[in-house]
Chain A
Amino acid sequence: EAGVAQSPRYKIIEKRQSVAFWCNPISGHATLYWYQQILGQGPKLLIQFQNNGVVDDSQLPKDRFSAERLKGVDSTLKIQPAKLEDSAVYLCASSLDLSSTRQETQYFGPGTRLLVL
């Protein structure tokens, strides 16, 4: 079974520029998550999708961050404009189905490392 795919793996931009990250979840996984992991910290949830609908975006800085999952499969996360403090690893994760009564494990991708100069 193929894992969660993310691209690009690394990105360097200057502050005030825009950047986009792409995630392809495990086939059949309805739930998709984006996390931000700043160096030396644990992952922090930014947004959670169930199919193509947003379940939780309470910690997403909506003035500069946006995310979409138009067809309920792939997702993109965008930052515009970027700030120095956005330097982090952006992790995508997926799980089978939020509505399932079982406890569905999240599977993480390798992440995209962003450096804002």
Chain B
Amino acid sequence: QQPVQSPQAVILREGEDAVINCSSSKALYSVHWYRQKHGEAPVFLMILLKGGEQKGHEKISASFNEKKQQSSLYLTASQLSYSGTYFCGTELIISNFGNEKLTFGTGTRLTIIP
């Protein structure tokens, strides 16, 4: 039930855009996104709940398509500080509610070069 992230790694030049995808084989109640810099703990970015809501702050946003059981993270005009590994975490639906367990994908390594 681990979500599948794609791509596994991406290299961008500063200012370019990136999309990271997270797909599940089961119905989702929520999707979390985190960023982890090398040698540090993951840091929470945002949560999306079922309902197709799109959220974001500054140049990082995300969408959640519950019918397709997938979420996408959009990084616009990337900055050097965006480098790191991005993880999605998914919560499954159990009887119309979340199962209160967050299962993470294997991560997408994003490298931004000047």
Interaction A to B: no
Chain B residues with a Cβ under 8 A of chain A: none
